[in-house]
Chains A and B, each alone.
Chain A
C-alpha cells in the first residue's frame, strides 16, 4: 500500500525542455538508427562528411534487427557461393512474379557479403572460429563459414547476429557520427519552390525531454521501419501487437507520404503471421522454417512427419532437406521465398498440414531436435535460436533455465508451418516483401536530396538487405551532398510543426493514443480486409478522415513519452490512408500482391502487371505506372552507377 502511494507521486525522471528548440546543421541526416541507418551513417562518415543520426529508441539495440540475427541471406559474392548475384536476384524477382525490388535486392546480392566482412572487423562474429562445427556438411573448412538452406549453393550464412548492433553502434561513434537517441523525427522540411521539391532537413522531438529539434542537411536518408499496427493492435499488450517492436511503426512512411514521396505496392498485405499477443513468440515453438530449417517433426504418436522435394518425393535423409532436387540448380529457402513459390526455385518442405491430417497424422506436432544429427541440432538450437532477433533471452536462455534439453525434449508446434497462430483473413500485416518507397539506381526517392534504405524501400526483407541498402544509400547521398550546399529553411513549416506537436500537450484532458490506434485497426479490418472494393475502401477512407479531423485534435499526452506514442498513432493513421489510396487505384486483383478486389475480380490481367505508384501532390493522390522491370539490366546498371565501388572492391 505504502509503495503504491510513493509511485503515484513519481516525478518525471528527465528535465523538461518543451520550450527549447535545438538547431542542428549537418551534411548527411539519417532518420532511423536500425541496421540500415547505422550502415548509411558509416558510409557517409567514411566519405568525410558530417553525419547525424536521429533515432527514436536507442541506437545500440534499436530496430527490428537490434537484438539479433541468425541468417545473412543472399551473400552471393562469398567465395563458396555457386550462384551469381544476377541469378539470385532474378530468382527473387521471378518468385514474386516481378513484384520485387530488383535494384535493392541486386545491391543485397552484390554487396551484402562485403558488409558482413566489415562487421567482422568491427567485432561481429561471422565464422565458426571456435571450431564447434568441424566436419558438419554445412561448414566450409577453409573459411569457417556455416551455411543454411541450400548446402550445395552456399549463399546464405549462419551468423552470430546478437553481436552486430553493438558493433555497428561502436563503429558509428568511432567515426564521429553525431547520434541523437530518443529523438523521433516528425516531418521532412521541404523547399517547395524547387521542382521537384527538395528536402532540406527534418524536425524532431525528444521523447524524454520534449525538446524540439530542427535538423538542416544537404542530403537526408530515410531508414525507418515499415508500417505496423495498421490492422493489429493489442490494447492490453501493445508492445507485442506486431512482429516488430512497438515503436517501429512507420513514422518514415508517414512523413515521406506527406512530403510527396512516391510509393508502390502499398496495396499488398498478407493475412497476419505474427503478433506476440495472438501467436507464440517467433522461433519459440516447434517448426521447420527460417531459424528452425529443416528440423524434424513428429506427430502426437511420435510418427515422423515426411519431408518432400518439389515433386512430392519423400526425402529419405535429413541431409537431402538441404539439397536441391535432381535437375534443380538451387532453391530459395524451404518451401520457397514467396508465398507462391515457383517450381524452379522451390525448396524441400514438410507435407502440408491439411495433407498430414488427411493421412491420419495426429495433432499436436512437435519439433524433434533429439532425432536430428548432432551438428544440425546444435546449429539450430545453440546458434540460430541463440542468435536470432528477440530469441536469445526469451527463448534460448529461458527455455534452458526452465529445463528444456534440446537433446531430449520435443517442442510443441501450435499452428501451421512457422507462424504458430491462425489469424482471420481481415487481420493483416505488411509482411513478405511489402510496399514502400520506390527508388532509382542511387536509392534516391523522387524528391531531390532524399534517399531511402532498408524497410522503407518497397519489397524489403532481411538484415542483409537493410545493411547493403543502408550503406549504398549512404554512399550515394554523400556523393550528392558533396556537390550541394545547404539552403535556408522555411520557418513557417518549422513553426507549423512545432504548433502541431505542442497542441498534443497543451491541454489537461483528452483522448489516449491506444484508443485511437484501436479505432484505426477496426476501420482497416472492416474496410480494407481481405476482400476489397471501391465502396468498402471509400467508406474506410472517409472514416479515417473523420478520425483525423474530429478525433486527432483531441489526442492528449501527459509527458514526452506519451507525446511520442500520440505522434505515432497520427502517423499510423496517415499510413492507413496511404494503404487505402493504393488499394483504390489498382483496379485488378493480383495473386502475388495478395490483393482481391470484388469489383475487379480478374486475377493479374496483363495490363495491370506493373508497379502502380502513388504520391501526394497538392493534397491530391497522383497515380503513376512503372514497368515491372523498370530497373533495366541489373549488372550493367549497377556497374554504371557504382564504378568507384566496383573498382575498389576488385583491388581490395
Chain B
C-alpha cells in the first residue's frame, strides 16, 4: 500500500506565492509554517518549494513572515481583491 504516488500541481487559477529564484535558499521554513500545507519541498535541493495547492491559500502571509530572506517570497493576492485608493490632495471638491 505504501507504493510511490505522484501528484499534479493544481491548475493555476491563482498564483498566491511567488518565489524569487535567486533569493530563495530552499530552506523550507515556509513549508513548515504554512498551516494550510499548500507547499511541498522541491525535489531539487536548495530550490524554492512547489506551491502544490495554490487555491487553498488563505493569504495570511505567514510564509513571508517566517522567511529568513527578505523579498524571497512575495504574497500575491487574487486580482479581484485589488483595492482602490486616491490621493486626497489631487481631488478638489
Contacts and interface: CB of A to CB of B under 8 A. Distances in A.
Interface of A: 7-14, 16-19, 56-58, 60-63, 66-67, 162, 181-182, 207-208, 236-240, 245-247, 276, 280-281, 284-285, 301-303, 366, 368, 370-371, 389-390, 392-394, 397-399, 404-405, 408-412, 506, 558-559, 561
- Looking at chain B's contact residues, is the secondary structure mostly helix, strand, loop, or mixed? loop
Contacts of A236: 13, 55
A12 B32 contact: no
Contacts of A366: 85-86
B85 A18 contact: no
Contacts of B89: 408
Given A61-B66, A409-B85, A13 B35 contact: no
Contacts of B58: 239-240, 245-246, 276, 390
B8 to A, nearest CB: 6
Given A10-B9, A245-B35, A411-B85, A18 B2 contact: yes
Given A398-B77, A412-B85, A63 B9 contact: no
Given A302-B91, A393-B65, A247 B35 contact: yes
12 contacts: A10-B43, A10-B50, A11-B7, A16-B5, A57-B34, A57-B36, A58-B35, A237-B55, A280-B81, A281-B83, A390-B58, A405-B87
B62 A61 contact: yes
Interface in B1-19: 1-9, 13-14, 16
B48 interface: no
A207 B56 CA distance: 15
Classify chain B's interface size: 35 or more
Contacts of B1: 18-19, 506
Interface in B28-77: 32-38, 40-41, 43, 50, 52-53, 55-62, 64-66, 75, 77
A11 B6 contact: yes
Nearest to A407: B88
A397 B75 CA distance: 10
Nearest to A18: B1
A415 B1 CA distance: 52
Nearest to B34: A58
B68 to A, nearest CB: 13
Given A58-B35, A61-B66, A245-B36, A11 B87 contact: no
Contact of A10 (B6, B13, B35, B84): B6
Contacts of B77: 281, 394, 398
Contacts of A399: 83, 85
Contact of B37 (A182, A303, A393): A182
A281 B81 contact: yes
Q: Among B59, B66, B89, which residue has the most Cβ atoms of chain A within 10 A?
A: B59
Given A18-B2, A67-B65, A398-B77, A247 B36 contact: yes
A9 B43 CA distance: 11
Contact of B56 (A62, A246, A394, A408): A246
A393 B64 contact: yes
Contacts of B13: 236-237
Contacts of B4: 11-12
Contacts of A57: 34-37
Given A182-B37, A240-B78, A398-B75, 7 more contacts: A7-B9, A13-B43, A17-B2, A66-B35, A392-B65, A394-B77, A506-B1
B65 A239 contact: no
Contacts of B86: 366, 409-410, 412
A504 to B, nearest CB: 13
Contacts of A398: 75, 77
B92 to A, nearest CB: 9
B61 A390 contact: yes
A180 B29 CA distance: 17
Contacts of A62: 35
B88 A409 contact: yes
B81 A11 contact: no
Contact of A408 (B57, B78, B88): B88
A239 B56 contact: yes
Contact of A239 (B40, B55, B88): B55
B33 A60 contact: yes
A58 B33 contact: yes
A162 B36 contact: no
A249 to B, nearest CB: 11
Top 8 A-B residue pairs of the complex, sorted by shortest distance between their CB atoms = A393-B61, A57-B35, A302-B93, A13-B40, A390-B60, A67-B60, A61-B62, A245-B58
A409 B33 CA distance: 34
Nearest to A242: B58
A583 to B, nearest CB: 29
Contacts of B60: 61, 66-67, 245, 389-390, 393-394
Contacts of A18: 1-2
Contacts of A246: 36, 56, 58
Q: Among A13, A16, A56, which residue has the most Cβ atoms of chain B within 10 A?
A: A13
A394 B59 contact: yes
